[in-house]
Structure 1
């Protein structure tokens, strides 16, 4: 679904470099999309144009707190909560580990894709009452091949920016700038300039 949405957007605009940003489970969805884009020809150009990915508190190795979240979801099923996604994020979940291996294989082959991970520095409280600690601990959120940035927020605040002075806003801007600098050093401006010139012919 993510790749189809990106394709539809690209039909409306000229080709341009892509930066994916995903919070928590959204980061897992991006990893699945990147793996699919390498094997499915109709999405290959999306992978070719991806210059970077920013993961906001993504549990690459799973999270112990997801089990508590699944328990809460079972209690609140009447309000539409689902345990399916949370169960997929359990610590040491084999499908999650398999996805990580496949994703890293793609990244090793695609040296142009810059990875940035961000992790919370503050503990999270459920409903501001129940102490949960770190939803995604640092060692589950960071990657050896990425630039890893600590953010002065709890897990829920990593993707919420109240103003340009918000620590999350500053961290995301840092991540985008680092991806842009990396891409420029690999010559992406020349590549996309050629496409824009071609589109005017």
Structure 2
């Protein structure tokens, strides 16, 4: 449905293997996925490095985007145009301050009821714990960069209004009541616009038709970002040119 919202945009989906449990479990980190994302973007944008760029991310994917942008800002020669051309960020249930409704020990116990020990990758859950040092470093570093921007990137954060069955994470059934995985306070950045969606954490980025109220809310946000993006990139380029004179 996004092509109807942004008809002149090239829309690309970046997927990565995020299986933390089972036969296909992988040792995956935000840094590893962020670098792979940057390499993929570099290939796809080699002829249009400074075209406006919007990211739409769900849950852990939002942390990947933050890490990728920090890397792109620090090494602009390696990742040309990625940071300076990013004009919009849309986050769905990204646990910027941890997933309070997903206790790591509870998840590991649930996973070990479903899988053998060698089919569980516990390190993948660590970054989602409230107070995790790496999580604080990435989010804190990103906010510092955003506050220093003259022509700021547009940021929108969506948070869930319905509780989720935590057991879905490991493919089984939770033995406790459903809960909110990412709260409003954790899922929203200080510099962002905030929007609620009447959905669970697992389906807040999935829509069946364009007339759903929640999708109309998201579409309005994305459309606004798209419309402002060309001018935002132009103004940034003029500021960069002036600073070099």
Give the alignment's TM-score, normalised by structure 2: 0.69
1:49 lines up with 2:88 in the alignment? no
After the TM superposition, list the runs of 4 or more consecutive aligned residues in structure 1 that deviate by more than 6 angstroms. Answer: none
1:19-168 equivalence runs, <5 A: 19-40=54-75, 41-67=77-103, 68-78=106-116, 80=119, 82-110=121-149, 111-125=151-165, 126-127=167-168, 130-168=176-214
Answer 1 or 2: which has greater helix percent. Answer: 1
Answer 1 or 2: which has greater strand percent. Answer: 1
Aligned residues: 191
1:178 lines up with 2:224 in the alignment? yes
Secondary structure of 2:102 counterpart: helix
Give the alignment's TM-score, normalised by structure 1: 0.82
User: How far apart are residue 77 of structure 1 and its match?
Assistant: 3.6
Which 5+ residue runs of structure 1 have no aligned equivalent? 192-201
**RMSD between superposed Cα atoms in Å:** 2.6
Which 5+ residue runs of structure 2 have no aligned equivalent? 1-35, 238-245
Whole-Å separation in 2 of the counterparts to 1:53 and 1:19:
6
Contact 1:59 1:140 in 2 (8 A): yes
CA gap of 1:16–1:132, structure 2 versus 1, over 3 A, is same
Could you tell which deviates more after superposition, 18-27 or 59-68?
A: 59-68
User: How far apart are residue 133 of structure 1 and its match?
Assistant: 1.2
User: How far apart are residue 189 of structure 1 and its match?
Assistant: 9.3
1:10 lines up with 2:45 in the alignment? yes
Contact 2:127 2:135 in 1 (8 A): yes
CA gap of 1:14–1:34, structure 2 versus 1, over 3 A, is closer
Whole-Å separation in 1 of the counterparts to 2:212 and 2:64:
26
Contact 2:96 2:187 in 1 (8 A): yes
Whole-Å separation in 1 of the counterparts to 2:59 and 2:133:
18
Whole-Å separation in 2 of the counterparts to 1:181 and 1:121:
29
Could you tell which deviates more after superposition, 18-27 or 68-77?
A: 68-77
Please give the per-residue CA displacement for 1:67-123, whole angstroms capped at 9, x wherever unaligned. 233433343344955332222100111211111110111112233311110000111
